[in-house]
Homo-oligomer: A and B are copies of this chain.
Amino acid sequence: MHRHEGHDACHTGVGDMLARAETICRERGLQFTPLRRDVMEAVAEAGKAQGAYDIAEKLSARGKRVAPVSVYRALDFLMEQGLVHRIASRNAFIPCPHGHAPGEGVVFLICRTCGVVDEASSEELEDGLDRTLKRAGFTPAHSILEVEGDCGACRERRQDS
């Protein structure tokens, strides 16, 4: 379980993500089926967060029809394995370039201009949250930290014009 400080710079390629997913499943004795692979690929190759219905459409477009319910099941599986995250504020899904468990002090940075979702994490933030929860007498099980705003690239682009 590795950690990052600040911006998430390790933009893994689609092929790498699939390979890693397969490895993880094999290690855990789980099946990385064709459907799960296709869904993982669809999420990974999209530049931004994808809705379940978008994924279903995308997979159906290349031949065999895939029902949304199948996509949801595959997504549930991939989320349990920490390979995909759900963005609650968008009802959409993104690939996870690392392998962290859910609720681990990771913040999602959602650019409202270009739609790209990035991850950031820091000890500092996590500690602050932990202490705040402890003071409130609350035992966390799962956290959702999402910030909507403008990413650096989009802000610069706006200033140019």
Contact = CB atoms under 8 A, between A and B. Distances in A.
Interface residues of A, number: 43
A154 to B, nearest CB: 9
A125 B122 contact: no
A142 B147 contact: yes
A140 B103 CA distance: 21
A116 to B, nearest CB: 11
Chain B CB count within 10 A is highest, among A7, A126, A144, A147, for A147
A34 interface: no
A128 interface: yes
Contacts of A120: 132-133, 135-136, 138
A127 interface: yes
B147 A133 contact: yes
